[in-house]
Amino acid sequence: KRGLAGGNTNYATGGLNASETSVQQKLGIQDSNEQYFEDTMKGGKNINDAALVRNMVNLSAETVDWLISLGADLTDVGKMAGSTNPRTHRPKGGGAVGGHLVDVLKKAAEDSGVEIRYDSTVTDLIVKNGGVHGVKVESNGKIYTVKSKAVVIASGGFGANIAMVAQYRPEFKDFGTTNQSGATGDAFTWAKQLDIALTQMEQIQTHPTVVPKKGVMITEAVRGNGAIMVNREGKRFNNEMATRDVLSSAILEQTGKTAFILFDQNVRDSLKAIEGYARNGLLTEGETLTSLAEKLAISQAELENTVKKYNAFQAAGKDEDFGRAASDMTRPIVKAPFYAVEVAPAVHHTMGGIKINTKSEALNNSGAVIPGLFAAGEVTGGI
């Protein structure tokens, strides 16, 4: 639809979750498909389609191997919020995963003879005898058709269409978004003529750590690598590794409805993704905690006390205030300079969408497979 390959994947920073992988094995990481399944069901509050989750989990290791075979670098494995074990695969040094995967997949597609058409908007499906046989396309003001034996809808979600978001979740009507501009939910307008089943459309995920007014997502890998979060009073207010919905709600309860991610030079050195934030001018820096607090206009004494207290919890392996796991407190905050980024929740991931089976075949409202129609990625629901 737009002038480049890849949708929201281009903005994905954290990594690709997978269990029992060859990379985990090389790094000595103990994990299991069963634990990944349980973590994912728990994160979805058990309303997920268990068959789809099981399918994703069981195929995750071979997906990693397949991507590596195409040239992807997934050699670094981190631990993210909601995961019992480290399983988030990403490039060396914790680099951003999304743009890298898009480049790898684009090259593989082109090397295989796939033609990629840009600035081409699909406006409808071609339907004949209840099955799908192609698409209608608009490009440069002209409409043409592409006939095919099957169609795979992989058009992403609707997180950039705030009017549509508000239809399902009115409380998000004034939220920002982390989504690329093309994530407008076009596919859902095609659903009616084929009676395509939609599921869990109201399940819209917010990301808790997005730079206000800029829409830049600060990956949870920053917290996973040791950052804490403080409010305008200079105090921690929640387990920083809580799930996105819990942390989003907690931030909205703070003064100003924003918070600050706080970390030191050791955390910065541990994660390449932070260098991108620095280049974009998103970091507030202080040679001491006192000078950082002054720049943030928060209590210097409270901030120093908060960090001192957290470092004691980290050393003891027990967070007595908010129950952050010892394995999630990877390093103390001790090495100058110190850094902070102001963040707030924004619309991130629309988890509802087209109902599919484990073969990615699209289903109608009677539960029957629609011949010739498949769907994958954020446009689908239930996983």
One of 244, 268, 324, 331 is an active-site residue; which one?
Answer: 244
Phi, psi (rounded to 5 degrees) for 284: -100, 130
3-state secondary structure string, the chain? CCCCCCCHHHHCCCCEECCCCHHHHHHCCCCCHHHHHHHHHHHCCCCCCHHHHHHHHHCHHHHHHHHHHCCCCCCEEECCCCCCCCCEEECHHHCCCHHHHHHHHHHHHHHCCCCCCCCCEEEEEEEECCEEEEEEEEECCEEEEEECCCEEECCCCCCCCHHHHHHHCHHHCCCCECCCCCCCCHHHHCHHHHCECEECCCCEEEEEEEECCCCEECCCHHHHCCCEEECCCCCCCCCCCCCHHHHHHHHHCCHHHCEEEEEEHHHHHHCCHHHHHHHCCCCEEECCHHHHHHHHCCCHHHHHHHHHHHHHHHHHCCCCCCCCCHHHCCCCCCCCCEEEEEEEEEEEEECCEECECCCCEEEECCCCEEEEEEECHHHECCC
Q: Which residues contact 230 (CB under 8 A, 6 or more apart)?
A: 236, 237, 259, 260, 262, 298, 303, 306
What six digits make up the tokens of 77? 């494995």
Give yes or no for a contact between 227 and 314, defined as CB atoms under 8 angstroms apart.
no
* Cβ 178 vs Cβ 11: under 8 Å: yes
Active site residue 223: no
Residues annotated as catalytic (active site), given as ranges: 244
